[in-house]
């Protein structure tokens, strides 16, 4: 994570600067700039909190947080991209957030700030910096590229002293999301912090950096138009189901299983043969997805290192099908979008991505076939769902550097 000044200004930073000056006055001059990228998940859907490996990559879409120092025991915040029903400025009383958790409602934009502040206060080795902050981003909300993780990582960098070490920053950002009601793992935050392409180990939180050669291929993200929120989706239910399935597996197998991802294919065969009154069918499906997805990630690393992208594409397709059936976390419209993408000539793989129940499809294809993909989807899926007036339906991902905080003048 860099700490030196940079002359590069992202469009999101201009929006954040304008919002800050409007909210706090023309004299507002930020002294720190934090940037945290979103991510794409290549393989390993819902494995991080199940102790499994994930292939992920930081992308060139980011949240930018600008901050000034403040004397008061408060954080004043403005979000340049907040919904119209959000207040222009929220003043967060630091003293009231020591044990704060959101309950009984969906999280709003500023609740993530409260979650980060509360997580900082819970860490005796970190000091919260009272500040007036403004933030903006081009990581689309509800798009499946971890806008919430990027925001929490960026806020964690902007509001803490000293700057947290990467692992501590990941855990801080995860805790912030837990405090707003999203029981996420640490893959999203790890990808944002590390940058580039990584193999993330959900059991140890270790990050292995990879350097794939895509050649003329690209990963494209296609919007389904179905917005999603982790805290109000089935994501928390899947976390609970996974814990229940692990408890049953430990009883049946008589093994010291640390996680579902530690179950072998042979042990899976034993569990699959159980009566449904021992392990219900839907829980067997959850276990089957985790175990087979863990194997797909292992094979995916081999394919990535060998630049065998045809094999990688097939693994993506298998991952998506398992996510939709065994883990039941996809959405009919997303599966419709995936099906149309796979019918386009040259496409090597496509799958639902992220928490599920909306968001995006991830597509692997030659760069020169991107216009054909967009033409086919606009004529089909996007036409059927009244989305053709939009020009931001498909985004070509470029791998990006990890989160950083900089001193600015």
Catalytic center residues: 188
Dihedral-angle region of residue 386 (phi above 0 means left; psi in -120 to 50 means alpha; beta otherwise):
left
Residue among 341, 380, 331 nearest 363 (CA):
341
Kindly state the helix (H) or strand (E) to which residue 62 belongs, with its residue range. strand 53-69
d(CA 354, CA 105) in angstroms, rounded, equals 22
Query: Up-side HSE of residue 112: CA atoms within 13 Å toward CB?
Result: 24
Structure tokens at 138: 């081009």
Sequence-distant contacts of 319-325: CB under 8 A, at least 24 apart = 319/43, 319/44, 319/45, 319/293, 319/351, 320/350, 320/351, 320/352, 322/45, 322/288, 322/289, 322/292, 322/293, 322/296, 323/45, 323/46, 323/289, 323/293, 323/351, 323/352, 323/356, 324/352, 325/285
Distant-in-sequence, close-in-space partners of 211: CB < 8 Å, separation ≥ 6: 196, 197
The answer to whether the beta carbons of residues 181 and 193 sit under 8 Å apart is: no
d(CA 100, CA 175) in angstroms, rounded, equals 11
d(CA 60, CA 401) in angstroms, rounded, equals 8
The answer to whether the beta carbons of residues 35 and 15 sit under 8 Å apart is: no
CA angle centred on 310, ends 348 and 375, rounded to 5°? 15
d(CA 82, CA 77) in angstroms, rounded, equals 11
CA angle centred on 357, ends 353 and 362, rounded to 5°? 20
d(CA 213, CA 215) in angstroms, rounded, equals 6
The answer to whether the beta carbons of residues 68 and 29 sit under 8 Å apart is: yes
């Amino acid at each position: 994570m860099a700490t030196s000044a940079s002359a590069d200004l992202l469009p999101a930073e201009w929006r954040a600067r304008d919002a800050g000056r409007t909210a706090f006055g023309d004299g507002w001059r930020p002294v720190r700039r934090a940037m945290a990228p979103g991510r794409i998940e290549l393989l390993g859907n819902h494995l991080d909190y199940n102790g499994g490996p994930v292939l992920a990559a930081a992308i060139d879409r980011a949240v930018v947080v600008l901050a000034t120092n403040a004397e008061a025991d408060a954080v004043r915040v403005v979000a340049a991209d907040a919904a119209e029903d959000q207040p222009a400025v929220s003043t967060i009383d630091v003293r009231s957030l020591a044990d704060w958790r959101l309950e009984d409602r969906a999280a709003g934009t500023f609740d993530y700030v409260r979650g980060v502040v509360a997580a900082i206060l819970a860490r005796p080795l970190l000091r919260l910096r009272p500040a007036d902050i403004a933030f903006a981003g081009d990581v689309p909300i509800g798009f499946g590229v971890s806008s919430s993780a990027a925001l929490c990582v960026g806020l964690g960098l902007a509001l803490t002293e000293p700057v947290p070490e990467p692992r501590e920053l990941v855990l801080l950002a995860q805790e912030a999301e837990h405090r707003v009601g999203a029981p996420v793992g640490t893959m999203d935050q790890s990808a944002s912090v590390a940058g580039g392409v990584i193999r993330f180990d959900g059991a140890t939180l270790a990050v292995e950096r990879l350097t794939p050669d895509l050649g003329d291929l690209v990963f494209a993200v296609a919007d389904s138009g179905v917005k999603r929120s982790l805290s109000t989706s089935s994501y928390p239910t899947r976390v609970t189901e996974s814990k229940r399935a692990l408890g049953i597996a430990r009883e049946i197998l008589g093994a010291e299983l640390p996680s579902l991802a530690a179950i072998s294919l042979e042990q899976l065969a034993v569990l699959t043969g159980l009566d449904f009154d021992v392990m219900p069918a839907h829980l067997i499906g959850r276990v089957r997805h985790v175990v087979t997805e863990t194997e797909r990630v292992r094979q995916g690393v081999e394919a990535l290192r060998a630049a065998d992208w045809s094999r990688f594409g097939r693994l993506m397709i298998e991952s998506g099908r398992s996510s939709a059936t065994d883990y039941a976390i996809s959405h009919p419209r997303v599966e419709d979008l995936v099906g149309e993408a796979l019918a386009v000539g040259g496409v090597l793989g496509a799958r639902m991505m992220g928490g599920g129940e909306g968001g995006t499809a991830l597509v692997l294809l030659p760069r020169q076939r991107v216009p054909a993909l967009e033409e086919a989807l606009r004529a089909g899926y996007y036409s059927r769902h009244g989305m053709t007036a939009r020009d931001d339906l498909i985004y070509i991902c470029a791998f990006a550097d990890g989160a950083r905080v900089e001193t600015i003048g």
